[in-house]
Amino acid sequence: MTAFDRIKKLAKEQHLTLAKINEKAGIGTNSIYRWKTQVPTSENLQKVAKVLHTSTDYLLGNTNDPSQVSQKSDEDEDLTWQDFGMAYGGRIPDDLRKLYTAMAEQYVKDHPEALKESFEEEDDDLDDLL
């Protein structure tokens, strides 16, 4: 399966059009369609992988696990307004990202049961698959 095929498959699963992925990734119109016959740049492939919440390794066929996301430090991760369900474009400034991180950390300290419930839901999902 080619990178184009894998992108198309993930797009369908996530109810996205290839045009929408192009737009969200900030790459040229019809760029992904050109990948049927051309090799994408690593920069553009990384942008598409981020939009699809997968790794470039999956898109390139180096792994068959689409959920395997490349590990990045929190400092490298660019939060966008869309990560919070807001339609604004662009990334969230570092000082605001740090504030959100501090709020989340404090919430987990104050409500450890929320974290435990999250893991229990994941375990239930795994049990359903087995």
**43-69 pLDDT tens trace:** 899 999 999 999 888 898 888 888 755
Distance, in Å, from the CA atom of 94 to the CA atom of 100, rounded to the nearest integer, reads 10
pLDDT score of 72 more than 60: no
DSSP assignment letter at 54: S
pLDDT score of 30 more than 60: yes
Q: What is the three-class DSSP state of 130? A: coil
Residue 59: beta bridge partners?
none
pLDDT score of 73 more than 50: no
DSSP assignment letter at 62: S
DSSP assignment letter at 39: P
Q: Which of 40, 71, 72, 64 is closest to 21 using CA atoms?
A: 40
Contact at 8 Å (CB) between 52 and 43?
Answer: no
Give the pLDDT score at 70.
47
Give the pLDDT score at 29.
83
Distance, in Å, from the CA atom of 120 to the CA atom of 29, rounded to the nearest integer, reads 42
User: pTM for this one?
Assistant: 0.53
pLDDT digit string (tens) for 78-127? 667 777 766 666 777 888 888 888 888 888 888 878 766 655 655 554 45
Q: What is the three-class DSSP state of 96? A: helix
Indicate if the alpha-carbon torsion angle 106, 108, 111, 114 is positive or negative.
positive
Length of the chain: 130
